[in-house]
Amino acid sequence: MAKRIEVKGLDIYYDKFLAVQGVTMTIEPRSVTALIGPSGCGKSTFLRTLNRMHELVPKARVEGKVLMDEQDLYGAGVDPVGVRRHIGMVFQRPNPFPTMSIYDNVAAGLKLNNKRIKKADLDALVERSLRSANLWEEVKDRLPKPGSGLSGGQQQRLCIARAIAVAPDVLLMDEPCSALDPISTQAIEDLITELKEQYTIVIVTHNMQQAQRVSDVTGFFNLKAIGEPGGLVEIDTTTKIFTNPANQSTEDYVSGRFG
């Protein structure tokens, strides 16, 4: 579990359009890396290249390297399906499977990986995942009920439980709290802090206070200019980025002068 990701000179294209250019960064295991920046600067796009989800857009491609513990995720013969089994993802809006019960939602990924899993093992894994997601106490009496009956915050924690049930090496979060109220947001943030003991976490957020609260390292993305591709401006410890960034545009952004 918890692997290091190294990104080297990553260019992200949609067909001929260069969306993000020249990203190089190292994401440390057992830590939270936050990606901040104005809308449209490519942070979500970049996040989705880490588990090859961005390939779902026709003609999207990348140049450069993404290494997870020395293994190139974009190497020849690497199956994106396999990559996604090791790199979990939590989305902006909670998306439990509406036709599945709470239990089945958590078990969904487990059943994909291991078709013959025993019921008792499955029960144990579902409980452990829900406990890790701080949701067990709230749902243990209604596991057969549909996941869509939970509140937004509970649904998002259900999605986190679903993602960590398959024991991924890395957990990607794309603005996981942007559709949630402050109380639910706090529950998710507490959870992120607990989860980083075991996982490598990358979180995209529009909320700079959130980046400060949960992350160890922060990367600032920005467009070079209007019409130019986005890119990583700088990445450093969160304290450094928010108090004494190296780059003027980072300073302007974190102090609220634009964005």
Among 37, 42, 109, 229, binds other proteins (CB under 8 A): 109
- Residue 127, helix vs strand vs coil: helix
Q: How far apart are CA 249 and CA 245, in angstroms?
A: 9
Q: How far apart are CA 227 and CA 214, in angstroms?
A: 32
Q: How far is the CB of 95 from other proteins (least distance, A)?
A: 4
Site for other proteins in 82-101 (CB under 8 A): 82, 84-86, 88-89, 91, 93, 95-101
Token pair recorded at residue 227: 């019409």
Q: Within 10 A of 109 (CB to CB), how many other CB atoms are there?
A: 21
Site for other proteins in 134-173 (CB under 8 A): 146, 148-149, 159, 162-163, 166
Nearer to other proteins, 37 or 88 (CB): 88
Q: How far is the CB of 208 from other proteins (least distance, A)?
A: 26
* DSSP E strand boundaries for the chain: 5-14, 17-27, 32-36, 60-68, 71-72, 87-90, 170-174, 200-204, 217-223, 230-237
Q: What Rg value do the Cα atoms of the chain yield, rounded?
A: 18
Nearer to other proteins, 65 or 85 (CB): 85
Helix 152-165 vs helix 182-195: crossing angle, to nearest 10: 20
- CA 68 from centroid of its chain's CA atoms: 15
Size of the site for other proteins (CB under 8 A): 30
Nearer to other proteins, 51 or 218 (CB): 51
Q: How far is the CB of 85 from other proteins (least distance, A)?
A: 3
Interaction of residue 81 with other proteins, rule CB under 8 A: yes
Interaction of residue 40 with other proteins, rule CB under 8 A: no
Binding site for other proteins (CB under 8 A): 51, 53, 56, 81-82, 84-86, 88-89, 91, 93, 95-101, 108-109, 112-113, 146, 148-149, 159, 162-163, 166
